[in-house]
Amino acid sequence: MSIVITGATGHLGRLVVEALLERGAEGIVATGRSVERLADLADRGVRVERLDFDDVPESVDWLGADDVLLLVSGSEVGRRVPQHRAVVDLAVRSGVRRVVYTSAPAADDTTLAVAPEHAATEALIRESGLPFTFLRNGWYTENYLPTFEQARASGVVLGSAGEGRVASAPRSDFAEAAAVVLTTDGHEGAAYELFGDAAWTYGELAATFADVLGREVAYRSLTPEAHRDALLAAGLDEGTAGFVVALDQDIAAGLLGLTTGQLAKLLGRPTVPLRDTVSSWA
């Protein structure tokens, strides 16, 4: 049996491979668009193969009936559904034992801005007839690294989430959970809602930044319109600015502040606190 990881050149996929190696997993196949970026994994006994979501072959010799496939969602918003469909079709032709997909919170029943492509992918996986597990990952703490650097420079955190909360965890926690699901039984048909143990507001985020940086950091709560204008003034394009504001409105609506405990249960330990991750950036 092999454990095949897509997107192993990306942040999450790479961490999943590392987590599998730490667990002593065998038969790991790391795939990505650029195998050159996976060369160090090959030196550690991992099989590396090219898989371009835009050029998926009819068949490959590294994916078969006894294998488990982790489909790490693509990063190209607007193109993910056809890309994911091509990989799922390959999995069907290969007869894999199970597909694990990194999705979004409550993907099939939410107004979350990032959810539609994930919901569509979940649907096509269900329709494929393949056994599956959905990892509905919440927010990565690392999403706020640019915000941290802005706070370091300006002493301000800008946002329009109001008092909405974010139950984040570092990517490494989500990667470790994926490794658990890939290497243990009992996960078929599950859709795990994965969040950090503690939900924080932007005001608390600013206070954490201040504590770590040793300087004053204030949260400036804006209206969505003022937030959009500030992002445009900072150089973001219309689409990106609108997307960032939409995500803050999702936070304000409580869509990313759930504390389900399912991530910690898979890990067998508490999730890494916000401050611990932020401290690593200082």
Specify if 72 maps to a domain: yes
Strands (E), 185-251: 191-194, 218-221
pLDDT of residue 134: 98
Backbone phi, then psi, for 40, in 5-degree steps? -65, -30
Q: Do 80 and 148 lie in a common domain? A: no
Domain CATH code at residue 226: 3.90.25.10
pLDDT in tens, 215-236: 999 999 999 999 999 999 989 8
Phi-psi region of 78 (alpha: psi -120 to 50; beta: other; left: phi over 0): left
Q: Do 52 and 124 lie in a common domain? A: yes
pLDDT of residue 220: 96
In this prediction, the residues of the chain whose per-residue pLDDT falls under 70 are none
Q: Do 77 and 124 lie in a common domain? A: yes
pLDDT of residue 176: 98
Domain with 15, as residue range(s), is 3-137
| Lookup: tokens for 6 | 């897509």
pLDDT of residue 77: 85
Domain count, the chain: 2
Q: Do 144 and 132 lie in a common domain? A: no
| Lookup: tokens for 233 | 């003034």
Backbone phi, then psi, for 219, in 5-degree steps? -90, 120
Q: Do 159 and 277 lie in a common domain? A: yes
